[in-house]
Structure 1
Amino acid sequence: MAPALILSRLAQMLAVLALLSALFFALLAAMPGDPIDLALAADPRLGPEDAARLRALHGLDQPLHARYLAWAGAVLGGNAGHSRLFAQPVAALLGPALLSTLQLLGWALALALAGGVALGALAAARPRWAPAVAAVALLAQAMPAFWLGLLLIILFAVALGWLPAGGAEPGWRFLLLPVATLAVANLAAYARHTAAALRAALEEPHIRSARARGASEARVLWRHAFPNAAVPVLALAGLDAGALVSGALVTETLFARPGMGKLIYDAVMGSDFNLALLALLLVAAVTMLATLAADLAQRWLDPRLA
């Protein structure tokens, strides 16, 4: 992909983020219960005059567009603001939460791709196994992430006591259940697409030539057929980036992991609109960057797309 095209894609991402910021700002502003309402409910000694002064202090008496422009100018100037709910700078909260979410996403994507490609290759290379692989993929895709997560918690945390039910302590034991929950549904899609792509690739003329030269079936499958089959799988990974990120938010909430999902949930429920808005925009940016990375990987594997 040419540098000019990458810059063009990045410019498009910035434009989309700007539009999303305005949309998120308007939606959050329309939600009932702003910080001043919460302050009035918490302290009955505050009267209407106090509420008016607080609204003027925080700019809540201004029109929506003026409040948005003031907020956007502050953020672009490097001032992300302060979290009312956590009593910390927003930037200090977003960094650790994003790292936790990226760790979960990275392991889940690696597991989903490895498992899906292995199952798809088995179905393509051994047709007698194809019905079993299709059944496993269908079962995996039919299970919602929150339902699967609850089942895993009941089985491995409650009944067997092998793994913790939630939290984010160091070590693989706290990652295993949320990673498995997030990976299973995506594994099913990757398995189906890998099988279909490999079957098509194995029919190409160069595959017959490789077999005629005496190449082993394993070499034919992975060295000659898989690079072409990987292109549509990577395309699927890019298209599924949004679903993977949104699935991570649900999974983090379910397993009480202190990532972006739990942070957004807590911010929205606590009416910490500035934190919720910036967290949502950061999640949107990560989703678009993941899509761009998948696009770059496709073009690297298949130069004809460049």
Structure 2
Amino acid sequence: MVAARLVQAAATLALLSLAMFLLIGLMPGDPIDLAIAGDPRLTAEDAARLRALHGLDQPLMARYAAWAGALLRGEFGYSRLFAQPVAGVILPALGSTLVLLGAALLLAGGVGVALGLLAAARPRAAPAVDAVAILGQSAPSFWLGILLIILFAVTLGWLPAGGTGEAGGLDALRFLVLPVATLAIANLAAYARHSAAALSATLREPWVVAARARGNGEARLLLRHALPNAAVPILQVAALDAGALVGGALITETLFARPGMGKLIYDAVMGNDTNLALVALLLVALVTMLATLAADLAQRALDPRLRDG
């Protein structure tokens, strides 16, 4: 299964890279046009020589073949915006984004499952849990982020409005609170609803009723019996949520001026930095597919029926 999924991921990345290269290549202007706009002393002959030097005078498919071949050899090229190798620009941004995504996933999953446990154990609390889930799901992440900035950064002055901070430790955590909360609130609704439904159905199973009759308390029934068996649909939500979290991070990082993959892709596309934009977009797609694969493997580890199938 893993080998087939990896082959599928490779084919998806190849098609995605082709589509992105064609879309970016068809955009008006190129780096040479920008260079000419920045230096009026460049002549038409200089522009033609530079285009030939960088292969921009070749047909679009020939340029894609050359770029893809270099990528397969591990040559990511240079970033025009940052004047350094693409790998040196992307790796720090990827680390920042993975920290943001990991913290948001843990917070959204933890709070969502806790709300689901509350709704399953206390049916009277289910309407309140549904209301919280609906509010979180209906709030666009950019709008929610702006509200959090206005409240906690501008009005109360408790947290910074953006950036990452120069010092580590607690100072870096202060800069992480608002973007993590923005992503988590927008994504906890699915965890709350699916965990509440799965736990409620599991609690009605005969073996759970028998365990209750043997004198097991409600907390033990929920945490030791019902939750492990209800974890498979929750992991399915996590697999689907990986892509949504990555897409939300692109907006959130731009909003909070975090130097992660989202802001990097935005700057690369707006600055016509083709090498950086293509490699960054492919890396985001790869992280999303690997996260989905990890969730599927965790489902198979928890449910023997999936392994047998």
TM-score (norm 2): 0.96
Name the structure 1 match of 2:297: 296
- Counterpart of 2:33 in 1: which secondary structure? helix
* Cα offset, 1:185, TM superposition: 1.5
Question: Residue 199 of structure 1 corresponds to which residue in structure 2?
Answer: 200
- Structure-1 residue corresponding to 2:218: 217
Instruction: State how far apart, in whole Å, the 2-side matches of 1:12 and 1:137 are.
Output: 34
C-alpha displacement of 1:32: 1.4
Shift of 1:239: 1.1
Corresponding residue number in structure 1 for 2:175 = 174
Other-structure match for 1:150? 146
More displaced stretch, 268-277 vs 169-178: 169-178
CA offsets 1:119-144 (integer angstroms, 9 cap, x no match): 01101110011111111111111110
Query: In the alignment, what sits opposite 2:25?
Result: 29
1:139-186 CA-to-partner distances (Å, cap 9, x unmatched) read 111110000000000000001100000011232101000000000021
Distance 1:69 1:229 in 2: 47
> Which of 131, 136, 149 is 1:140 aligned to?
136
**Aligned mate of 1:56, from 47, 52, 58:** 52
Helix, strand or coil for the counterpart of 2:106?
A: helix
Q: Distance in 1 between matches of 2:99 and 2:304?
A: 30
Q: Find out whether 1:119 has 2:120 as its counterpart.
A: no
- Of 42-51 and 191-200, deviating more is 42-51
1:47 equivalent to 2:37? Answer: no
5 Å-filtered alignment, 1:207-246, equals 207-246=208-247
Deviations 1:22-58 (A, max 9, x none): 1110011011121011011111122221111111111
Match for residue 160 of structure 1?
Answer: 156
2:9 pairs with 10, 13, 35, which one?
A: 13
Distance, in Å, in 2 between the alignment partners of 1:185 and 1:259 is 19
Are 1:277 and 2:273 counterparts?
no
Partners in 2 of 1:74 and 1:67 — Cα distance? 11
Q: In structure 2, list runs of 5 or more residues that go unmatched.
A: none
State the identity %.
Answer: 74
What secondary structure is seen at the aligned counterpart in 2 of 1:165?
coil
The residue identity in structure 2 corresponding to 1:244 is L
Distance (Å, rounded) in 1 between the aligned partners of 2:39 and 2:89? 27
SS at match of 1:31: coil
**Do residues 87 (structure 1) and 83 (structure 2) align?**
yes
Structure 1 vs Structure 2 CA RMSD: 0.8
For 2:241, give the aligned amino acid: D
What amino acid is the match of 1:75?
L
**CA displacement 1:225-257 (0-9 Å, x = unmatched):** 111211101101101211110101110000000
CA distance in 2, matches of 1:223, 1:301: 14
Q: How many residues align?
A: 302
Q: Distance in 2 between matches of 1:251 and 1:137?
A: 20
Q: Distance in 2 between matches of 1:155 and 1:32?
A: 41
Distance apart, 1:18 and its partner CA: 0.8
Are 2:260 and 1:259 equivalent residues in the alignment? yes
Stretches (4+) displaced over 4 A: none
Q: Report SS of the residue matched to 2:76.
A: coil
Residue in 2 aligned with 1:129? 125
| Structure 2 residue identity aligned to 1:204 | E
Amino acid in structure 1 at the alignment position of 2:254: T
Q: Aligned partners of 1:69 and 1:259: how far apart in 2?
A: 29
Shift of 1:104: 0.1
- Show CA shifts across 1:96-117 (max 9, x none): 0000000000000000000000
Q: How far apart, in 2, do the equivalents of 1:188 and 1:22 lie?
A: 35
What is the distance in 1 between the residues matched to 2:236 and 2:100?
21
Question: Quick one: which amino acid aligns to residue 276 of structure 1?
Answer: A
* Paired letter, 1:65: M
